[in-house]
Structure 1
Amino acid sequence: MRISVQDAPFDLGQEAETFAAGSTADGAVVTFTGVVRDIAGGLDAMEIEHYPGMTESAIRKIAEEAQARWNLGDVLVIHRFGRLAPGERIMMVATAARHRKDAFEAAEYLMDYLKSRAPFWKKEITSAGTEWVAAKDEDEEALSRW
């Protein structure tokens, strides 16, 4: 398991390749990458804040819960912080399992819980000013299936 909260960009291809090469016992590797969206066409940047130590611990707990629930060989979570422009990668989740169902479900679980429970604070910066991103009902509703 590797959890990384970092300000530096990551190489998606290299991270996926390294992760997939980590185990020959797993027949399924699922990856997901989140990208900063420019929803209204006016986003200059998104600033992401977190509390070092606390954030990594919370993500590790979520990842350990996924490992306990599904038969996973490995888990990778990368989440960035700092100032990010539209189109930049914000996070990556990868799961490896013997079978695809476990890998897919665990990846979805991690994404849902990271979106709503990981201690990150996001601020959108536009030409009109800045605004903190509020929690969304649909993100909370997504947790109900787990």
Structure 2
Amino acid sequence: MQPSVKRGKLAKIAGCNIETIRYYENIELLRAVDRTSSGHRVYSSDDQARLRFILRARELGFSIAELRGLLGLVDSNEYTCGEVLAVTNNHITTIQQKISDLKRLEQTLSDMAQKCDGGEVPDCAIVDAMFH
């Protein structure tokens, strides 16, 4: 990790777009950072670590609200592992519900597809099922 970097370099290091960094700044997940005399933002090693945390949490599917909650805990410097576990367990429950919903969706679409003969006429069981 470099001691301080400009936004473009931070984007390269973190493997994200500059716009992603701007977005996280705009929604205040990344804090306002110092600027050079020429006006360039300079990101400290702590800022770099925070961005990595944000990006990893997003990869794991945490919503912005969940992420804001996690960062609030971390920023308080008084969080417990139990509090972080509770947020994580809630997220796991959300993921399990989404998986269940996707399985139902898959089954519904599979059922519709099985009723379609894939012929050359415009009479389609899938379209009919979607209209009813």
User: Do these two structures clear the TM 0.5 threshold for a shared fold by scoring above it?
Assistant: no
Q: TM-score when scaled to structure 2?
A: 0.24
Q: TM-score when scaled to structure 1?
A: 0.23
Point out the structure with max Rg over C-alpha.
2
**Structure with the higher fraction of residues in strand conformation:** 1
**Structure with the higher fraction of residues in helix conformation:** 2
Higher relative contact order (CA 8 A, sep 6+): 1
